[in-house]
Amino acid sequence: AQSVSQHNHHVILSEAASLELGCNYSYGGTVNLFWYVQYPGQHLQLLLKYFSGDPLVKGIKGFEAEFIKSKFSFNLRKPSVQWSDTAEYFCAVTEEGTSYDKVIFGPGTSLSVIP
């Protein structure tokens, strides 16, 4: 069965530090990839997505992610984090050919940014 793993359960960074959150998936076919963010007390929001084309995708708030097919990875990056980036981050995938609609989420990475 398809699954999504995220490398870190909890990350703590100081403001202005660089961020990289790891995400790997276990499906060998064509996938669509997402990063969602959940700020404290708010609902899930889309940060960025990859459907096709340039494997380096840019999202909101200065985030970007790179799809590396050979590594089954879709890592999230930000060069300089802010206190307001404190949130839970979820990597997610849908697989092409079966159902676009069944989103498989990773377990999430909790990011705490210290001022």
Residues forming contacts to other proteins in the complex (CB under 8 A) are 4, 9, 32, 34, 36, 42-46, 49, 51, 90, 92, 94, 96, 99-108
CB nearer to other proteins: give 28 or 79: 28
Pairing of strands 10-14, 109-114: parallel
Q: How far is the CB of 3 from other proteins (least distance, A)?
A: 11
CB nearer to other proteins: give 72 or 105: 105
Note whether 89 and 105 are within 8 A (CB).
no
Whole-number Å distance between alpha carbons of 97 and 95: 6
Q: How far is the CB of 2 from other proteins (least distance, A)?
A: 11
Whole-number Å distance between alpha carbons of 67 and 82: 24
Q: How far is the CB of 89 from other proteins (least distance, A)?
A: 10
CB nearer to other proteins: give 42 or 115: 42
Q: How far is the CB of 38 from other proteins (least distance, A)?
A: 9
